[in-house]
Amino acid sequence: MAELLIKNGIVFDPINGVKGEKMDICIKDGKVVESVSSEARVIDASGCIVMPGGVDAHTHVAGGKVNAGRLLRPEDGRKGLEPRTGVCRACSGYSVPNTFATGYRYAKMGYTFLMEPAMPPLKARHMHEELMDTPIVDKAGMPLLDNNWMTLQYAKSGDVEKLAAYIAWMINATKGYGVKIVNPGGTEAWGWRKNCGLEDPVPYFDVTPAEIIKALAEANERLSLPHSIHLHANRLGQPGNYETTLKTYDLVKGTKPSRKRQVMHATHVQFHSYGGTNWGNFESKADEIAKYVDQHEHVTIDLGAVMLGDTTTMTADGPMEYNLYLLTGRKWTNCDVELETGSGITPFLYSGKVAVNTIQWAIGMELALLVKDPWKVVLTTDHPNGGPFITYPILISLLMSRKRREEVMKEVHSVINERALLPTIERELDWYEVAVMTRGTPAKILGLHEHGKGHLGVGADADVAIYEISPEETDAGKIQKALLNAKYTIKGGEVVVKDGEVVAVPEGRTFYVDVRYEDEAVWKEMLSDLEKMFKEYYTVSLANYPVQDDYVPKPYVIKAGAAE
Amino acid sequence: MPTVTDVVCPLCGCLCDDIRVEVEGNAVKKVRGACAVGRAKILGHGRLKSPLLREGDELKECSYEEAIKRAAEILAAARRPLLYGWSCTVCETHKVGILLAEVLGGVIDNTASVCHGPTVQAVQGVGLPTCTLGEVKNRADLVIFWGANPVEAHGNHMRRYSYLTKGWFRPEGKKDRKLVVVDVRESRTARMADIFIRVEPNKDYLVLAALRAIVNGFADVVPESVGGVPKERLVELAEMMKTAQFGIIFFGMGLTQSRYKHNNIEQAISLVRDLYAFTKFAIMPMRGHYNVTGFNQVCTWQTGFPFAVDLARGYAWYNPGETAANDVLSRKECDAALIVASDPAAHFPAECVKHLAKIPLVVIDPYPSPTTEIADVVIPSAVCGVEAEGTAYRMDKVPLRLRKLVETEFLTDEEILERLLDEVLKIKGLQ
């Protein structure tokens, strides 16, 4: 494969401690190397910022729920129509783009890895079909494993060993990456139109969400998976939920990590940082959450920031979406998945004229700015829940420019001065911190830095973003523009974006974890429980359940547990 | 005799995946566990034997190469080609088909446009509170079939998923459930029901609206009889719905293709949404062909829209009523057509079939049909789920992989489409 030499760029590579140094990056055979020959194609990055390809640790881009969102919203599809070109397929959609647009638009922003965080195991095949059709970027998906009847039973009996065996089976069967938890217990309760708080027993299963979370964290570490549990906590979106959030983090304080990383990644924390007791006195508690995160090593977060505008909300948290639908009266889709999970979808307009939305908008940014250590924070909008991923450049420009924040704060609801913290925050992120939150931290949290992602050290994947902007530039508009359309994006050593246009569309790889659980006696007992579930309660047979190799034509396999 | 177990049946939207098939000498000998229609399909029947080209009034045998070349010439020369069908083939075929439609700038549509298209339109208006079939099996204590007759159309549905089956919270199967059937005639399904409500034809909308009024506390505005149903029966049904622990409405073409079409479905879905004020409820279309759902899924993630997609502008334009197969046919707008795995000549309005017969027509299908009779090029293909593997989506959007049970000389739909695409790209100078 051709050699590449990226010359004279200002490089931000946080994992390797590079903080804005003028240096060259050498690329050969898809990897970063020490040096290249004189034959190498030279890319002049003078006056440009060079970073590793972006890693999105939490973005709903593929699978049954995302597709139900597209189907629900032809009006959103119309927003992003782009004709077929000599290189690209036809594109559609804004908050729910088609799979092709997802790949192209992320690549244009310099992102090269996506984590789909909510795969219903029964529909794993669907997620993989869509990932296959998402060009350029590498990707992975995490199966939902918290409301599964097998999990509920093992968590109740406290059988962490069998739970670990079951998780290993499911991750292999779904060709998944890690353990996703969404409103543990609450989604099962939604099967009866109910919901669960952290200490409420799940109907008929007599186990609490707190017990489920603890058991899954233990089992996750028992298997030594690359990623920790990935948690969407109970009571998402409810006023006063920050106390539940902090209690949830405390549950796994004593869990011993099996790798050098957190034991819980708490996702879209903006939605979990609310004070007040009702919508009338709703307020930000981002400071309480930030304080906790700074004081503890066992938990990391991603923002789930809200960007003002129309979007499509979607989550496995069925009851939450129903409540949102009751608030707006707009259209609403729900799909409960047998023995496993659920999902809900409803459109939502975050309006700066609405007090609650304004506070939500502030909280996402407050979290990014109040947590002192950027190695604990990943920049996300929980695409498309807080806003479509295409708004990342806006979010980053706001975080980097207090001037821009002040301009927008003048336009939004005045409640921002009373029940949010943003007006009191002076901090502006610099390019290094942005690189940490969009490259270094997500790669490390997911355990991907050991597999060539999120950095530019020798041996790393040659995934590179080059933005045409000076590190001294402070104009928010220019920052936004540079981030939206990279000067170059290089994926696996191939130039895929040039001057903001997609110029090549290689297939991306699908990463998945091959995990082995070694105690044969426990494995057999778990299998016998599982066989009974399939024989009596599932509507597909055990033999037809696991995802075949046909659905990961370009695999990258990470071994874990006894397979490591 | 070697038995293949856990075979997925490629007949209807149930995708039963517990079929056992005995294979000997590269032939299917016995099929167990399937319904009568599914069994007949897997056992096989009258096939197209060879590719065919029209010469005057006759279809004459030819080679695959000749047929595909002629098909490519027809499609590449067309200004407004229609690519229709897709519901009896696997998703891998759909992907090539959608790419071909993009390259041609054609209109692509599937059979949903004449069955559950109105359902899709209703969902786009109000959403769809639904579930997978196992939720019904394990939880449902009230099962309602509305304008659907699974006993005859989805042979194993009640046994595997909905009524007779036992589940975690319904260990006694049908004893733990109530069955309600709403239909314009007393179907075989209706004869099994605890309650059968006969609605006058084309009055479903009124009955659904009356039920919504009752559920929402406005029984006083409901007249004594609605659509031929006495008010007290509707009050009784509304009460059953409100007090069920988990209720489900399965609806069929009796609701989608009778008068008021998508408005009926919007009412039915809205009724389910209203019931969430009281209890858990879900609603699900009884999808017919085994992979009609799959096409809508693939088309949605690839183009952004589920069916009736016009790619003439280079991007996807979706507007059923303007861009569905019968729209472009009835306006006599399309000047060539590719039909894959479907038989529009037997199901479309006469004026549309007449136009289809007039224009150059390419058909890919394992079987002869009225559509192959009027075709100019006929390309036989392997039977998915028997001779070819691939992905199909069950009516509840659960994807399963169909198996290959026997070897065949026939090319698969996917292979034919890929060759066709190659030829078209060559003609257009794009390769």
Amino acid at A283: E
With cut-offs at 50, 70 and 90, classify the pLDDT of residue B1.
Answer: confident
Are A492 and A348 found together in one domain? Answer: no
Contact in structure between B296 and B21 (CB atoms under 8 Å)? no
Residue A223 within a domain: yes
* Cα–Cα distance measured from residue B171 to residue A107, given in angstroms and rounded to the nearest whole number: 51
Q: Is B306 on the interface with A (CB under 8 A)?
A: yes
Q: Is B431 on the interface with A (CB under 8 A)?
A: no
Q: Is A100 on the interface with B (CB under 8 A)?
A: yes
DSSP character for B243? H
The C-alpha torsion from B254 through B255 and B261 to B266, rounded to 10°, is -170
The one-digit pLDDT tens for each residue of chain A (564 residues) are: 589 999 999 999 999 999 999 999 999 999 999 999 999 999 999 999 999 999 999 999 999 999 999 999 999 999 999 999 999 999 999 999 999 999 999 999 999 999 999 999 999 999 999 999 999 999 999 999 999 999 999 999 999 999 999 999 999 999 999 999 999 999 999 999 999 999 999 999 999 999 999 999 999 999 999 999 999 999 999 999 999 999 999 999 999 999 999 999 999 999 999 999 999 999 999 999 999 999 999 999 999 999 999 999 999 999 999 999 999 999 999 999 999 999 999 999 999 999 999 999 999 999 999 999 999 999 999 999 999 999 999 999 999 999 999 999 999 999 999 999 999 999 999 999 999 999 999 999 999 999 999 999 999 999 999 999 999 999 999 999 999 999 999 999 999 999 999 999 999 999 999 999 999 999 999 999 999 999 999 999 999 999 999 999 999 999 998 888
- Residue A335 to residue B302, Cβ atoms within 8 A: no
A495 CB contacts (<8 Å, ≥6 apart)? A4, A43, A488, A489, A503, A504
* 537-556 of A, contacting B, C-beta below 8 A: 537-541, 543-544, 548, 550
Are A187 and A249 found together in one domain? Answer: yes
Residue A100 within a domain: no
Are B242 and B341 found together in one domain? Answer: no
Contact in structure between B180 and B195 (CB atoms under 8 Å)? yes
What are the phi and psi torsion angles at A121 (to 5°)?
A: -50, -40
Are B301 and B415 found together in one domain? Answer: yes
What are the phi and psi torsion angles at A182 (to 5°)?
A: -130, 115
Selection from B160, B131, B151 nearest residue B8 by Cα = B160
Task: Render pLDDT for B106-158 as a digit per residue (tens, 0 to 9).
Answer: 999 999 999 999 999 999 999 999 999 999 999 999 999 999 999 999 999 99
Selection from A161, A54, A155, A66 nearest residue A114 by Cα = A54
Angle at B84 (CA atoms; ends B79, B90), nearest 5 degrees: 130
Are B23 and B70 found together in one domain? Answer: no
Please give the tally of structural domains in chain B. 3
DSSP characters over A102-120: HHHHHHHTTEEEEEEEEE-
A136 CA: distance to closest CA in chain B (Å):
15
- Residue A544 to residue B400, Cβ atoms within 8 A: yes
* Cα–Cα distance measured from residue A102 to residue B303, given in angstroms and rounded to the nearest whole number: 12
* Cα–Cα distance measured from residue A27 to residue A490, given in angstroms and rounded to the nearest whole number: 10
Are A340 and A464 found together in one domain? Answer: no
Are B91 and B33 found together in one domain? Answer: no
What residues in B contact A99, CB-CB < 8 Å? 301-302
> pTM of this prediction?
0.98
Are A291 and A247 found together in one domain? Answer: yes
A181 CB contacts (<8 Å, ≥6 apart)? A144, A145, A146, A212, A213, A216, A229, A230, A231, A232
Are B124 and B107 found together in one domain? Answer: no
* Structural domain boundaries enclosing B184: 117-285
Q: What percentage of chain B reaches a pLDDT higher than 90?
A: 99
ipTM: 0.98
* Structural domain boundaries enclosing A35: 4-52+455-502
- Using only C-alpha atoms, chain B has a radius of gyration, in whole angstroms, of 23
Residue A507 within a domain: no
Are A407 and A475 found together in one domain? Answer: no
Q: Which two tokens stand for residue A218?
A: 């233990």
DSSP character for A440? I
Q: Residue B32: in which H helix or E strand, if any?
A: strand B27-32
* Cα–Cα distance measured from residue B106 to residue B100, given in angstroms and rounded to the nearest whole number: 8
- pLDDT at position A1: 59
- Residue B132 to residue A62, Cβ atoms within 8 A: no
CB atoms within 10 A of CB A8: 16
Are A413 and A475 found together in one domain? Answer: no
With cut-offs at 50, 70 and 90, classify the pLDDT of residue B431.
Answer: confident
Mutate to test the interface with B, among A61, A70, A71 (most CBs of B within 10 A): A71
Are B59 and B101 found together in one domain? Answer: yes
Are A285 and A349 found together in one domain? Answer: yes
Are B298 and B223 found together in one domain? Answer: no
Are B252 and B122 found together in one domain? Answer: yes
Are B139 and B244 found together in one domain? Answer: yes
Are B382 and B304 found together in one domain? Answer: yes
Last residue of a domain, one of B285, B308, B327: B285
Mark out the alpha helices in A253-411 (DSSP H runs).
286-295, 318-328, 355-370, 392-400, 402-411
Contact in structure between A314 and A304 (CB atoms under 8 Å)? no
- pLDDT at position B343: 97
A38 CB contacts (<8 Å, ≥6 apart)? none
A3 CA: distance to closest CA in chain B (Å):
27
* Cα–Cα distance measured from residue A137 to residue A62, given in angstroms and rounded to the nearest whole number: 13
Residue A81 within a domain: no
* 58-77 of A, contacting B, C-beta below 8 A: 62, 64, 66-68, 70-74, 77
Are A363 and A397 found together in one domain? Answer: yes
Residue A251 within a domain: yes
CB atoms within 10 A of CB B144: 27
Residue A258 within a domain: yes
- Residue A71 to residue B306, Cβ atoms within 8 A: yes
Please give the tally of structural domains in chain A. 2
Residues in chain B: 431
Residue A59 within a domain: no
Task: Render pLDDT for B100-111 as a digit per residue (tens, 0 to 9).
Answer: 999 999 999 999
Residue A124 within a domain: no
Identify which of A82, A129, A191 has the shortest CB distance to residue B91: A129
Q: What is the CATH number of the domain that holds B320?
A: 3.40.50.740
Are B418 and B356 found together in one domain? Answer: yes
Contact in structure between B294 and B91 (CB atoms under 8 Å)? yes
Q: Residue A313: in which H helix or E strand, if any?
A: strand A309-315
Are A468 and A356 found together in one domain? Answer: no
Q: What is the CATH number of the domain that holds B260?
A: 3.40.228.10
Q: What is the CATH number of the domain that holds A35?
A: 2.30.40.10
CA A23 to chain centre: 31
Q: Which two tokens stand for residue B283?
A: 């609603």
Are A397 and A254 found together in one domain? Answer: yes
Contact in structure between A368 and A437 (CB atoms under 8 Å)? yes
Are B318 and B386 found together in one domain? Answer: yes
Are A167 and A303 found together in one domain? Answer: yes
What are the phi and psi torsion angles at B261 (to 5°)?
A: 30, -110
